[in-house]
Amino acid sequence: MLTRLQQIDSFHELRQYINTTICKQYQLQVGAFRMTERTLVRNGKPCGMYFCLHGPRATQFTAIWETDRNQVLFYGSRGERFLKTQLVESPRPELAAA
């Protein structure tokens, strides 16, 4: 599994990075498939974001942004992790709510 270092300044850039990375990994057209996201909560406090790209034939590809470690973990449709990205800085929090 690869580990990458990435500079991302905003939550919008994080969304784009996740969408593009998954699409490139699975040779999908960027922007052609819907992506949903949810806030992950531990002990009543937000601890990350879950992103799901809904691909062709009901396949789902996911990524999890762990805010504690400031890293993004990417998973294929069978749950195998294919990439870990360490973010240089956290995206600006005021944009995460958008």
Note the pLDDT tens digit of each residue in 6-20: 999 999 999 999 999
Instruction: Tell me what pLDDT residue 4 has.
Output: 83
Give the residue, 55 or 90, on which the prediction is more confident: 55
Give the residue, 89 or 65, on which the prediction is more confident: 65
- Which residue range forms the structural domain that includes residue 77? 2-96
Those residues with Cβ within 8 angstroms of residue 40's Cβ, 6 or more apart along the chain or in another chain: 46, 47, 48, 49, 50, 64
Range 73-96 average pLDDT: 85
d(CA 43, CA 12): 26
DSSP bridge partners of 4: 85
Provide the number of structural domains found in the chain.
1
